[in-house]
Amino acid sequence: MKFHYFIFLFLSPLITSIFLGCAGIESNKMETAKTKPVEVENLSIQNYFVLGKNKQIFTEVPRRVIVIGENEVETLVRIGAADSILMVMGRNKPRFPLEPEIENAIEALPTADRQSMNVEYISQLKPDLIIGRQYCFTRDKLNSTDYWNKHGVKTLVSLSSSQPRRHYIKETVDGEMETIRNYGRIFHKEEAANKLVDDTYKTIDEINERAKNYPKPRVMIIELMSTYVSYDKTKLAGNMAESIGAEAISTPAIITFEHIAKEDPDVLILICSHDKYGACRPLIMDHPGLKNTKCVKNNRVYNIPLEYTYGPLCHTKDGIKMMGEAFYP
């Protein structure tokens, strides 16, 4: 018995050491997993032009983030990354009311107006990350993404915020969802980010199930600016439409009412960027050159807010829902 007790005394420190060593290894593995660099493939922008791909490597969670764009802010709040936001710039009021807890969380964030969107002001804030849209990176605003990267500031640019008149960069729902996933990875909020993505794809699946009972609609998506700007399948709005079974008609970036009359779409979606939502619809419904088109005769001309199709992020689902209601009433 004494011999066994002696053996126990001798081996006990050794066993404890081995156990603690294993625990330490496991702890180190967890710590390594937490601090493993996150690589994100984004865009290099100069003067509103996409120059190419731009890899950003995050070795820690950003803590001083400048955010430009209402959907970017809302998406970060929804995944639980609000405490990393240093400043929100030029946020427009949402077109439709948000849940009170989301709106209150956004309202509590420090804000600055669009006039402050310049290199001098932003530099004084000493950000570690700028999240914005492609139009932000011009000579008279934030210079280029390369400028900030060279000064040690990371940049993340919305993939679906290229100029409406440019159709040479394919914008997709998958790309929009990957941006949300990247937010989750960068801010260590993967679970919440993945839920937003899963909810969007679930919405697409549900609409496609309903669409089985309908003919495939031919759709045109336009925005009434100083000209008619068309969002075909190369733009996110067109890809959203095709993700739920519609045919987004291929068009030039700039069209006229004659294009609409010639294509004669079943459904016409109007991306509304007017201050008064819906103000653009009468311009189509009352246009004498469009009175014989199927979409006008059948009263299938619908509004959709710009923010649901242009860098929509967490609102991609809402834009797709609105399209689904228009395509499959």
pLDDT in tens, the chain (329 residues): 444 444 444 444 444 444 444 444 443 333 344 568 999 999 999 998 888 899 999 999 999 999 999 999 999 999 999 999 999 998 777 778 899 999 999 999 999 998 899 999 999 999 999 999 999 999 999 999 999 999 999 999 998 888 766 656 789 999 999 999 999 999 999 999 999 999 999 999 999 999 998 999 999 999 998 889 999 999 999 999 999 999 999 999 999 999 999 999 999 999 998 778 888 999 999 999 999 999 999 999 999 999 999 999 999 999 999 999 999 99
CB atoms within 10 A of CB 211: 17
Residues of the chain with CATH 3.40.50.1980: 38-158, 215-327
Q: How far is it, in rounded angstroms, from Cα 65 to Cα 151?
A: 15
Hey, is 49 helix, strand or coil? strand
Q: How far is it, in rounded angstroms, from Cα 14 to Cα 19?
A: 9
Fold of 215-327: Rossmann fold (3.40.50)
Sheet holding 154-157, edge to edge: 111-112, 85-89, 65-68, 129-132, 154-157
Distances from the Cα of 5 to the Cα of 8, 10, 246, angstroms = 5, 9, 79
Hey, is 258 helix, strand or coil? helix
Superfamily of 38-158 according to CATH: Nitrogenase molybdenum iron protein domain (3.40.50.1980)
Do residues 43 and 50 make contact, with C-beta atoms less than 8 angstroms apart? Answer: yes
